[in-house]
Structure 1
Amino acid sequence: MKIVFYGVITAIALSCNVQAAAIDFSTAWYQVAQKNDALQAKKEEVKYSQALQDAAKSLYLPNVDITGSYTHFDKPISVDTPPVGNFIPSFNVPLTNQNFAHSSLNAVLPVYTGGRITAAQDIRQAQVDEAQSNYNLATRATFTQLVQYYFGVVLAEQVYQVRLDAVDALADHLNHAVKFEQQGQIAKVERLMAQVSLDKAQIEAQKSLRDYEIAKLALTKMLKQQDSVLPTTPLFVNNSVTSVTPYLTKTLTDHPGIAILNAKREQAKGMVDMASAKHLPEVMLYGNYNLYSDDSATGELLPEWMVGVGVRIPIIERSGTSQEVVAAKSSVRQVNLLQMQMQQDLSILVEKTYAEMSQALEEYNSLASSQALSEETVVLRQKAFSQGLSTSLEVADSQLYATSIRVQRLSASYNYVKSLAQLLSVSGDIDHFMDYLQINGIEVK
């Protein structure tokens, strides 16, 4: 029974890894950063904002256009001149033909706009900063997700192996129980207890296999691979983690959420400047060059070119400029309040994540003695059972307890890695994640 089940379930496990491509975490993160659709969409958002920023740079340039018109009058326009004494009689002077055509080249250059152009350019720059911060925020969230998926596969595989070890041990115990029953050394109920314990272990092993397959499928899809992937970076812990202060300081300084609110504040300030500028005059230079006019008197009288200075002074507007200024200033105050709240929330998040990481590390280290004790207990119970000094139930319970301790310790190391990744993501140190494994890190096998 032991050989049949172990062979079948091992064959299933091997078939899952036949076409699996080995990949370490650094390579996996590089692939996700390059291929993740959500991150690519955020990159396009940055490009979009940059294009609008470039467009705003042309606001100081002149507007140059060509205008033309063709007009048909009901009759030619003319003027009757009054007679001059008895010497010059009255006569008719034609001013236009019945059809009048004219075209010209026009240019308008803003000289002073009350700060509208500068405010518009500042807003576009702030929008670029916001888009870049959104991309950074999405990158950190994707990194955390990859850590959960990648090391979730590592955890599921190791838990599965632990469950298989339990099946193997309990199958050995069942074989011994069968022999002892045949020799009359134990009762039938003892052998049945061994059988029930093995059945339970087989069920748990099958569940672990399904969990492993699901976790590996999720990671494969995230990496956009056709064949399944096999992580090679192990779970780990590191006992030389610093205090929470550096993480907290860096989070409150560099977190993209704060940068987003800073960008929104700059946009709100730009809106204040634009609304205030509506009260100020505008000054512009303009010029006109006559390209074509017909041969009528009016056409001949038109100047070939002209230049000048124009001014526009707002007196009364129906757009509610004053209230727009009030609304824009309210937006600035709103962003300031949101930033204070975010700083408080981020501080809580960092403290909480650091505490969870520390708790996971303490749990992993504390369970070392329990694991050693449980493994030694299994050995003693097996020897006692072979000498008739222990029951089958005691052997099975010791084996299952040893298995649970191993699984619990593996889970603690996974929780440590997951909390570490979230802590580094919040504080902006995801590039140093692998340092915690490579520098004084302890691999969990």
Structure 2
Amino acid sequence: MKVKAILPGAIAAAALVALTLPVRADTGIDYAEALRRMQTSAGAVNGARLDFQARQLQAEALRRIDGPDVRLSGFAGRVSTTLSVDTGAITQLANPLLDSLPPLPALNLPEIPPAINVDRVFNVHSLGLNTVWPLYTGGRLDAVKQIAAGRADEAHASVQAAVDDASIQLAQRYFTVQLAAKASQLRSSAAELAKEHQRMARKMERSGLIAKVERLKADVAVDNAVREAAKAGSDLEIAQLALRRLLDAHGAVTPTTPLFVHAESPGSLASFIDAAMASNAAWKQIAGKRKQADGALQLQGREFSPTVIGIANYNLNRGSSSRANWLVGVSVSVPLVERIDRAKMTAASRLEQQRVEVAAEQAGRDIPTLAESQWRTMEDARQRYLAMGSAIELAAETQRLAQVGFQNGQATSTDVADASLNYTKTSLERAQAGYDYVMALAKLLGTSGEPERLSALSRTATHIVDLTKE
């Protein structure tokens, strides 16, 4: 059967909201809209998205790491220095000559000191353009860029993983509300039926058609049904509160996408396994880790490669005696001995690369197994739901016959209560089967990297759990 899902009291509530706040009137939210809201409000998703944006910017910032670096450099300051002039050679020649001269009246010639020291203070300024361009680094800069790109890829896969996990949580809370609404509706109907039976039992007791004990049994059935209905209503309120807080909604949230079941499987086991092997977030995370491990191994393996750097300088203080007007050259550096044991670092990088490959092999076994388990759980729930159609019809007919039999004196209050309880129990079991089917499908789509497909599949279902009928 195929009908629309409308929660009890939803129409009246919507009408009241429409009268008070016509601009914001809203009777509910479908699963596609709930998924969109969840992706904007979930803390884990937002955190993963921010991490991805940061790592993506870091990777973009390193794209020109092997290009030229041009800087404007300048200096201005005041320098104090002592100039020392060695006069030793002059002293050796001049002092003997002065000693051989006859004394001159009123003239006292001093001796020439061996050195002359003069203190100077002067201003110094410099302004120029400097550039450094790595011409050859043995692939180390490419490895750095590869590592940064791998980190960004891994972060992007983590966003998908967070979305998949949050989508499963949303499906659980969203459809738990629908299951709780169905349970509340069934329990309320059972309570009303028990009350009706109680009124009939009292009339028959007053007419002397049944004994007092039969009426007391009807009273007990009413008390039990009312208690179960109250508990179901409380469970519904808790489920609605959990959904509202997950979506960060300010008011009550009424789901409009019902529990559903397909008459045929929405996909073969092989198709879901292929989708999981192609789009699962774990595979994408491993691909990002593999890129990082390869880059780290390349970086360590090239540490003893020579480095060639082009250097240029242009002095803007033309005519200055302190610096050349321009300079162009090439610097070559070849590491010979380092404080770090590069051989061990390279071995560690190879081990990290092997660890990633081991994780990939394990994921290659785990992901298909998980997808198959979820697919079979989904199929079991689907078959269970479809097979319970006859059980529902039998329980409904048994309940009707028990009520008729009681009126005709051919059944007891216990028979009526048991029939009503059995119908409610059978209906709840079928609704639970529908919930199990939807949850297994949601988990399977999450494993396949396609959680958004659940909304589209709900519109193609041939069976839904009706909230307007028993």
Q: Quick check: which has more Rg, 1 or 2?
A: 2
Report the Cα distance in structure 2 between the residues aligned to 1:196 and 1:408, rounded to whole angstroms.
24
Q: Is the 8 Å Cα contact of residues 81 and 120 (structure 2) preserved in structure 1?
A: no
Q: Secondary structure at the match of 1:185?
A: coil
Partner residue in 2 for 1:264: 289
Q: What are the Cα deviations for residues 176-228 of structure 1, in whole angstroms up to 9, with x where unaligned?
A: 11111111121111111111111111111101101111111111122222110
Partner residue in 2 for 1:5: none
- Summarize the Cα distance change of 1:45–1:265 in structure 2 as closer, same or farther, 3 Å threshold: same
Letter of the structure 2 residue corresponding to residue 234 of structure 1:
P
- Summarize the Cα distance change of 1:199–1:92 in structure 2 as closer, same or farther, 3 Å threshold: same
Please tell me whether residue 53 in structure 1 is matched to residue 59 in structure 2.
Answer: yes
Q: 1:18, CA displacement in angstroms?
A: 5.9
Partner residue in 2 for 1:314: 335
Q: Which range is displaced more, 71-80 or 228-237?
A: 71-80
- Summarize the Cα distance change of 1:265–1:186 in structure 2 as closer, same or farther, 3 Å threshold: same
Q: What are the Cα deviations for residues 54-101 of structure 1, in whole angstroms up to 9, with x where unaligned?
A: 110121222333153747455125566967x999x9999999955463
Partner residue in 2 for 1:108: 132
Q: Which range is displaced more, 339-348 or 109-118?
A: 339-348
Please tell me whether residue 143 in structure 1 is matched to residue 191 in structure 2.
Answer: no
Partner residue in 2 for 1:32: 38
Letter of the structure 2 residue corresponding to residue 155 of structure 1:
L
TM-score, scaled to structure 1? 0.89
Please tell me whether residue 167 in structure 1 is matched to residue 191 in structure 2.
Answer: yes
Q: Secondary structure at the match of 1:231?
A: coil
- Summarize the Cα distance change of 1:81–1:268 in structure 2 as closer, same or farther, 3 Å threshold: farther
Q: Which range is displaced more, 27-36 or 266-275?
A: 27-36
Partner residue in 1 for 2:277: 252
Partner residue in 2 for 1:285: 310
Unaligned runs of 5+ in 2: 1-7, 18-25, 98-111
Q: 1:76 aligns with which of 78, 83, 97?
A: 83
Partner residue in 2 for 1:7: none
Q: 1:439, CA displacement in angstroms?
A: 2.4
Partner residue in 1 for 2:106: none
Partner residue in 2 for 1:343: 364
Report the Cα distance in structure 2 between the residues aligned to 1:71 and 1:80, rounded to whole angstroms.
28
Letter of the structure 2 residue corresponding to residue 244 of structure 1:
L
Partner residue in 2 for 1:388: 409
Letter of the structure 2 residue corresponding to residue 55 of structure 1:
A
Q: 1:316, CA displacement in angstroms?
A: 0.5
Partner residue in 1 for 2:240: 216
Q: Is the 8 Å Cα contact of residues 82 and 118 (structure 2) preserved in structure 1?
A: no
Q: 1:290, CA displacement in angstroms?
A: 2.8
Question: Alpha carbon RMSD of aligned pairs, Å?
Answer: 2.9
Partner residue in 2 for 1:6: none
Q: Is the 8 Å Cα contact of residues 10 and 27 (structure 2) preserved in structure 1?
A: no
Partner residue in 1 for 2:20: none
- Summarize the Cα distance change of 1:181–1:77 in structure 2 as closer, same or farther, 3 Å threshold: farther
Paired residues, number: 431
Report the Cα distance in structure 2 between the residues aligned to 1:305 and 1:416, rounded to whole angstroms.
77
1:185-204 equivalences in 2 (<5 Å): 185-204=209-228
Letter of the structure 2 residue corresponding to residue 390 of structure 1:
A
TM-score, scaled to structure 2? 0.85
Q: Is the 8 Å Cα contact of residues 79 and 93 (structure 1) preserved in structure 2?
A: yes
Report the Cα distance in structure 2 between the residues aligned to 1:357 and 1:312, rounded to whole angstroms.
64
Q: Secondary structure at the match of 2:225?
A: helix
Unaligned runs of 5+ in 1: 1-9
Partner residue in 1 for 2:154: 130
